[in-house]
Amino acid sequence: MTENPFAAWTRQMQEMARAMNPALEQFTPQGFEKLWPTMPGEVVEQFMGKGINPEGLDAKTKLLLTLAGLTVLGAQAEAQIRMTVRQAVEQGATKQEIAETIGLMGLFGGIPAMNKAMALATEVLEDSE
C-alpha cells in the first residue's frame, strides 16, 4: 500500500522545517506565514504545479482550487487563506479570478464563509498594491 500523498507531503514539509531549524518542529500555520509569506515560484511549481504531474493542473489552478476548499470549509484557516491568495497572485491569478473563486464558494459554504474569505483576500491584495 502506498503512502497517502497528503501525509507524505506533510511529513516532507515537517522534515524540511526540522532541517532548517529544529525549533520549527512545532510551528503553526501563522508561524509559517511569517517565516515564508510567499514561496519562490520554482518551489510552488515543483510541489503545486506540473513538477509532480507534467500532464496535470498548473499551480495557479491548484491554488485557486485550494482557495475554494479553504473557503467552503468556513474560512477558518486565516493564515492558509492569506498564503494561498499570495501564492495564487504569484502564479498569475488575477483579482477577478480570486474573487470569483471565493464568490462561487458562497453557494456551498455559505455567505459568512464567503465574506470572511473575501475580507482576508482583500487584505492580502491591498497589501500587495
Tens digit of pLDDT for each residue in 60-110? 999 999 999 999 998 888 888 998 999 999 889 999 999 999 999 999 999
CA distance 32 to 11: 15
Same domain, 78 and 32: no
Same domain, yes or no: 61 and 111: yes
Residues 63 and 110 occupy one common structural domain: yes
Can you give the CATH number for the domain in which 42 is found? 1.20.1290.10
Tell me, yes or no, whether 1 and 42 share the same domain: no
Are residue 81 and residue 121 in the same domain, yes or no? yes
Task: Kindly indicate the confidence band of residue 53, based on its pLDDT and cuts at 50, 70 and 90.
Answer: confident
Range of the domain at 22: 1-36
Whole-angstrom CA distances from 58 to 90, 93, 104 are: 13, 11, 20
Q: How many domains does the chain have?
A: 2
Question: Does residue 111 surpass a pLDDT of 60?
Answer: yes
Does the pLDDT value for residue 55 go beyond 90?
A: no
pLDDT category of residue 38 using cuts at 50, 70 and 90: low
What pLDDT, on the 0 to 100 scale, is given for residue 71?
95
Residue 102 and residue 67 share a domain: yes
